[in-house]
Chain A
């Protein structure tokens, strides 16, 4: 039996009694980053497969969300920095060992690319507001001609962005809940799934709705498998990992994790999507919105719970 308590000296706000350096902006960013990664991945993939005509929402309308999500995500990240006006220091160096460093570089490339992508469809999407200036028209023409090349860049970059949101957390060996290798693939799958859900939500094309319902169902099943793997792996781990998992299984985050993420965010949407695929009429907005909420809650649970777990004390 061991007991340990503080007596004096240590009075650091945000660290004691439990670490709370990363607040809601980080969770929101991880969600928005994953969502944008999913949308850009599908937009790029559909274009590379020459299926733009069959899946118009994916390439034209749903991808509109990604620059907005990335911009809001970046604003959230900036808001969470405490030494804000030194942020440009991120871009004076490349540190391969730091996931945050290459994440910052990927964001620097993919954010403008997402704007260019949306702009390449400008006249088709914003039919009511035609472009006035010649150089903008020329730019749009140039971009829509070279859309394939943007797509070639978007597919790998969006995968890196999606994985990075998970690796960012898993690189911290001091926080046992985060320190598992499955977090990268798990966040990527969750990001792709929220992207697919957004497409389902926005599309009016039956074929597109059907295909992305199927894709989303597969992604949800993979995600559930990865979550089971994460829990099993942690239970097979050391004492600190066991204690970390107890926060999610039986601890203070149980309702949030199993109720909102696993049940409402994954299982119920999966069942609804399955019934939809079989042929029953189900308003697809319900599973899609549940998936989006589940994805957001998942980021909050992981960021908040992870910061409670530690080696000492």
Chain B
């Protein structure tokens, strides 16, 4: 089992519904967020291209945050999901420094927080909150190890990219382009 998220940048309209859904589902404190939208403009006028992306923790296979965590609070569970155990986190900030995606933040209670791929929902057979609310259905979620899953098929048939591949982290969030 290797969970992955595939996001179609051609369908995303940047409505931020995923952000609000995540904040509601995960009780994210006001002023913080575990996912966010970026708007990238490429090129020079008049030949410009707009790309909208919903970004979050990439649940890297080679996760620098897990490597540098001094207590083992950051860890990878079955399915390749990177989680933080609040009771083991000392709030040193090493994982925040180590993340090329700046996906982590210090929760007002002190420990480090970030996207969990809504693993509490996955256990119940539901999709992550962000995926389930997307009005343009640009987000897909599934198992990379299953060649017939929706995400495997999309990655097989569509051109895609990951963020900062040069960081060598092997992310599990893919963007269709």
A contact residues vs B (CB 8 Å cutoff)? 1-16, 19, 21-22, 80-84, 86-87, 89-90, 92-93, 95, 97-101, 103-104, 171-175, 238, 240, 307, 310-313
B43 touches A (CB below 8 Å):
yes
Q: From residue A46, how far is it (CB to closest CB) to chain B in Å?
A: 33
Pair B106/A82 contact, Cβ less than 8 Å: yes
Among B84-92, B136-144, B146-154, which stretch is in contact with chain A? Answer: B84-92
If A12-B32, A92-B71 touch, whether A19 touches B102 (CB-CB below 8 Å) is yes
Q: Which of A4, A19, A171, A174 has the most CB of B within 10 A?
A: A174
B contact residues vs A (CB 8 Å cutoff)? 14, 16, 19, 31-33, 35-44, 64, 67-73, 86-94, 96-102, 105-106, 109-111, 163-164, 166-168
Q: From residue B121, how far is it (CB to closest CB) to chain A in Å?
A: 20
Can you spell out 7 A-B residue pairs with CB atoms less than 8 angstroms apart? A2-B43, A12-B105, A19-B102, A86-B87, A104-B70, A172-B97, A173-B98
If A1-B44, A4-B41, A12-B32 touch, whether A81 touches B166 (CB-CB below 8 Å) is no
Q: From residue A165, how far is it (CB to closest CB) to chain B in Å?
A: 14
How far is it, in angstroms, between the C-alpha of A70 and the C-alpha of B91 when the chains are bound? Answer: 21
Pair B68/A172 contact, Cβ less than 8 Å: yes
Across the two chains, which residue of chain A brings its CB closest to B69? A98
Pair A238/B98 contact, Cβ less than 8 Å: no
Across the two chains, which residue of chain B brings its CB closest to A171? B68
Q: Which of A82, A83, A100, A103 has the most CB of B within 10 A?
A: A83
B93 to chain A: which residues have CB within 8 Å?
21-22, 80, 82
Q: Determine which of B35, B44, B102, B110 lies in contact with A82 in the assembled complex, contact meaning CB atoms within 8 Å.
A: B110
A173 to chain B: which residues have CB within 8 Å?
64, 98, 100, 167-168
Other than the given A1-B43, A172-B97, 4 more pairs (CB < 8 A) read A5-B40, A82-B110, A86-B87, A312-B102
How far is it, in angstroms, between the C-alpha of A290 and the C-alpha of B109 when the chains are bound? Answer: 41
If A81-B92, A84-B91 touch, whether A11 touches B31 (CB-CB below 8 Å) is yes
Pair A21/B97 contact, Cβ less than 8 Å: yes
Pair A174/B64 contact, Cβ less than 8 Å: yes
Q: Determine which of B14, B69, B100 lies in contact with A312 in the assembled complex, contact meaning CB atoms within 8 Å.
A: B100
Can you list the 3 inter-chain pairs with the closest CB atoms, starting with the nearest?
Answer: A82-B91, A83-B91, A10-B36
How far is it, in angstroms, between the C-alpha of A1 and the C-alpha of B42 when the chains are bound? Answer: 7
Across the two chains, which residue of chain B brings its CB closest to A104? B70
A82 to chain B: which residues have CB within 8 Å?
91, 93, 106, 110-111
